[in-house]
Amino acid sequence: MLRASWPRQVILISAFVVLAVVGGHSIEVSPSKTAGVQRLTSRPKLLVGAYYSMWYPQNLAQGYLREHLIPSQPIASSQINSDSPLVAEQDISNAKRAKINFFALDWWPFYLGYSNERVVGNRHAVAEFLKAPNISQFKFCIFYETWNLGFDAGREATPVTRATTVHFDKDMRYLALHYLHNPSYLKIHNRPVIILYLTRTLTGNVAKFISSARSTLERMGVDPFFIGDEIFWRTTPENPSNNSGLFTQNPQSSRLRLFDAITDYSLYYGGSSTRYGPPNDFLGYPGKTNLVADEVKLYAKYQKATNNAVPIVPDISPGFNDRGVRLVDNHPAQPRQWLSGLSDSSTLDYMFREVGVPSIDNKLPMIMVTTWNEWNEDTGVEPIGGSPTSRDNSPSHDQYTQGYVYGGEGNADLTTLSKDIQYLDRIKP
């Protein structure tokens, strides 16, 4: 997801697979820790969700890879329109074909200095999505843009103040009044799920920030299930000091314990310093890197940080390419092909099987997939047309694609998700 003018991979923060309580059906989880597809115990049918951007077609004007391909392959507004209940209906229908059961809808708080027009548009888009004729057959939850409460880009921090705490409380009341009691709202153990983006940048009295919101919602008869976006190669110290530096590789365990579960939106780290993470994992075809081992190790590190008290939710993605919107930053593309010559959905397939599944936390078995329809960073898994090509309209014909093939993926990602999820559903102890 593109966040205003800030690079997603710089702020660095997912769709996701979830085992939860949905439609009144409780989930029981095996107490044994498993790893790998072949070693999974029998489990209930997976519930799959996808992060869903609510800013189209306007956000396409910022730039995206597909418009630079040769031949040009622009995305039609009839396919991606956040103000259309018919597009929402189409997306829900397509998602169900892939065994996806809910979307995490992007939701922006008001912030001084940010476009209030865009925030109002966001509210309208969510309202229109909920008018989809088939919404009763699907689930949704709110993906709250926590960083928009006052993100300091220079320090990569979102300081908690009395004002931000009051603002957050007010937004939680709004969510309770307008969404949390909707019959289609996603619940885990009968608790409505709210995913909080970039909580790993929160500094100061974060405990008060979260506890105040819980109290606000509890007074309205709501017991929220907060999922914090905490997992990453580097994080902002909860209580920074002059000697602590801007970032640390150490999970902030006290902050992690404030949430009911923790996740990451994306672990993409291309073009960054080797001091805090593995940028080489995002150079070239993923199958030729240490990506799998490094990401599985990172999830285990965060699991250990709370002595397994807070469930972790791993994330997978079909690839990453923001060169259509941020070419000047020269972030390396992560191709959709795991190795040269493999299918367009092979990166998604390998990430699901080799990172997502081994990292499943049996206290709350969930896997997140980034994303349904984020095309500024080319992480969408929704059906996409076009024709395969590695050529683009740059002078060298490869500045945007970096020589990788894009276009004509069609339903490949949806087919892969469906097959992988159905395979897991069939596994017996």
The CATH number of residue 53's host domain is 3.20.20.80
Count of structural domains, the chain? 1
In a domain, 2, yes or no: no
Asked whether residue 34 is assigned to any structural domain, the reply reads yes
Per-residue confidence in pLDDT tens, the chain, 429 aa: 444 433 344 333 334 444 444 433 333 333 333 333 333 444 546 777 889 999 999 999 999 999 999 999 999 888 899 999 999 999 999 999 998 888 999 999 987 666 678 889 999 999 999 999 999 999 999 999 999 999 999 899 999 999 999 999 999 999 999 999 999 999 999 999 999 999 999 999 999 999 999 999 999 999 999 999 999 999 999 988 765 678 999 999 999 999 999 999 999 999 888 999 999 999 999 999 999 999 999 999 999 999 999 999 888 999 999 999 999 999 999 999 999 999 999 999 999 999 988 998 888 888 888 999 999 999 999 999 999 999 999 999 999 999 999 999 999 999 999 999 888 766 633
- Residue pair 348/381 in contact (Cβ under 8 Å)? The answer is yes
Considering the domain boundaries, does residue 417 fall inside one?
Answer: yes
What one-letter code names the amino acid at 160? Answer: V
Is the residue at 3 inside a domain? no
With beta carbons less than 8 A apart as the criterion, state whether 403 and 48 touch. no
Domain membership flag for residue 40: yes
Domain annotation covers residue 378 = yes
On whether the pTM is more than 0.75, the answer is yes
Peptide linkage before 7 cis (omega within 30 of 0): no
Domain of 249?
8-426
Burial of 91 (0-12, 13-18, 19+ CB in 10 A): buried
- Domain membership of residue 168 (yes or no) is yes
Query: What Å distances lie between residue 193 and 17, 165, 357, 385, CA to CA?
Result: 13, 19, 22, 33
Asked whether 423 and 37 are in contact (CB, 8 A), the reply is yes
Look at residue 196 and tell me if it is in a domain: yes
**Residues with Cβ within 8 Å of residue 160, at least 6 apart in sequence:** 202, 203, 204, 205, 206, 208, 209
